[in-house]
Structure 1
Amino acid sequence: MYAARTTPYQGSLMIDICDLDLVGRKLEQNGLVINLTKEYYQQQVIETSQAGELLARCAIANLVGKIIVGQAIEMKLAKEASVKKISGVPFLMIFKFQNN
Structure 2
Amino acid sequence: MIYVKVYRVQGEVLLAACDEELLGKTFREGELKLEVKERFYRGELVDEDALGAMLEEATIANLTGERCVRKAIELGYIDETRVLRIQGVPHAQMAKLFL
For the criterion TM > 0.5, the same-fold answer is yes
Q: Whole-Å Cα distance in 2 between the matches of residues 37 and 59 of structure 1?
A: 21
Q: Structure 2: where are the runs of 5+ without partners?
A: none
SS class of match (1:8): strand
SS class of match (1:21): helix
SS class of match (1:98): coil
One-letter amino acid of the structure 1 residue matched with residue 13 of structure 2: L
* Structure 1 residue 30 displacement after superposition: 2.0
More moved, 63-72 vs 8-17: 8-17
Q: Is 2:64–2:89's contact at 8 Å kept on the other side of the alignment?
A: yes
* Structure 1 residue 44 displacement after superposition: 1.7
* Structure 1 residue 49 displacement after superposition: 2.5
Percent pairwise identity: 27
One-letter amino acid of the structure 1 residue matched with residue 19 of structure 2: D
* Structure 1 residue 74 displacement after superposition: 0.4
Q: Whole-Å Cα distance in 1 between the matches of residues 81 and 16 of structure 2?
A: 20
Q: Whole-Å Cα distance in 2 between the matches of residues 55 and 83 of structure 1?
A: 16
Q: Is 2:48–2:67's contact at 8 Å kept on the other side of the alignment?
A: no
The TM-score, its normalising length taken from structure 1, stands at 0.89
More moved, 80-89 vs 3-12: 3-12
* Corresponding residue for residue 84 of structure 1: 84
* Structure 1 residue 80 displacement after superposition: 1.0
1:96 paired to 2:96: yes
* Structure 1 residue 10 displacement after superposition: 2.2
* Structure 1 residue 29 displacement after superposition: 1.7
* Corresponding residue for residue 25 of structure 2: 25
Q: Is 1:59–1:98's contact at 8 Å kept on the other side of the alignment?
A: no
RMSD: 1.3
1:48 paired to 2:48: yes
The TM-score, its normalising length taken from structure 2, stands at 0.90
